[in-house]
Structure 1
Amino acid sequence: MNIAFYSVTRQVSRFVKKLNLSENRVNLISDTLTLSEPFILIIPTYEKDVLQEVWDFMSDNASFCQGIIASGNRNFAEFYIYSAKDMSAAFHVPILYDFEFNGTTEDVAAVNAILESY
């Protein structure tokens, strides 16, 4: 399964590297990225304006998105992974998994299993 990801503080980047995916399956979201194959989105939690590039990307590519994997901080209580929740509702895409910071070994194993199931 292809992934598209966005990272602000490099926490998500560090998590994606732990997945040991081939480079041709990993796509860093940019203003020029367009995907024409199914993918899973991996994003951090930030205000919408910080993630505007992701919102723009999803506006053009959501039809190929199979689900969202979210990074966050549980210390933020009800605001934990709120960006993924907003995006999930806006684009009708399920949240498949969530993890804190750059993830644990267990998180990596769980996400690898999700990726293999698609």
Structure 2
Amino acid sequence: MIAYASRTGNVRYIVQKLNLPAIEITKDTVIETPFILCTYTDGLGDVPAVVQAFMEQNATLCKGIVVSGNSNFGLDVFGLAGDKLASDYHIPLVRKIDLRGFSKDYEAILAFYNDCVKEDDYETILEVK
């Protein structure tokens, strides 16, 4: 499962390209299955409030974090929300993606998903849409 938050549409685009079971989160969303969190970076490196509230309730089942950012704001803040979440919750940072990313980003996420998250009732995903 992919749990995601998208403000500009970049994260939603990434999730759609992955072609995995997914849910767009709210602050009240509760998930009862292992998942990868896909989020954006707010401001200059902040974790979005909706994501912070979601993780406070769901972090125990989060297996990895993918973060989208914009490297034009500087590498010191690029995808910093992902770094903060990974550090705060001791969860692997799977990938930092610049805007909508590239095929190699999607392939790395799918490989992590297949190794660490895939549930028995979902088939292994080998291709990106």
CA distance in 2, matches of 1:114, 1:92: 16
Match of 1:94 in 2: 92
In the TM superposition, residue 15 of structure 1 has moved relative to its aligned partner by 0.8
What residue identity is the alignment partner of 2:82? A
> Are positions 1:66 and 2:63 aligned together?
yes
The match for 2:41 among 38, 41, 45 is 45
Any idea what the Cα deviations from partners look like across 1:58-112, whole Å, max 9, x if unmatched?
0010011111011112222100111111111211212011111111122112211
SS in 2 for 1:79: coil
CA distance in 1, matches of 2:31, 2:6: 18
Match of 1:10 in 2: 9
SS in 1 for 2:94: strand
CA distance in 1, matches of 2:6, 2:51: 10
CA contact (8 A) 2:28 2:53 kept: no
Taking the TM superposition and a 5 Å limit, the aligned residue runs for 1:11-26 are: 11-21=10-20, 25-26=21-22
User: 5+ residue gaps in structure 2?
Assistant: 117-129
What residue identity is the alignment partner of 1:27? I
What residue identity is the alignment partner of 2:36? I
Q: Runs of 4 or more off by more than 6 Å in structure 1?
A: none
User: 5+ residue gaps in structure 1?
Assistant: none
Percent of aligned positions that are identical: 31
CA distance in 1, matches of 2:84, 2:27: 20
CA distance in 1, matches of 2:28, 2:115: 28
SS in 1 for 2:76: helix
The match for 2:78 among 58, 69, 80 is 80
What residue identity is the alignment partner of 1:28? E
Cα RMSD between the aligned structures? Answer: 1.4
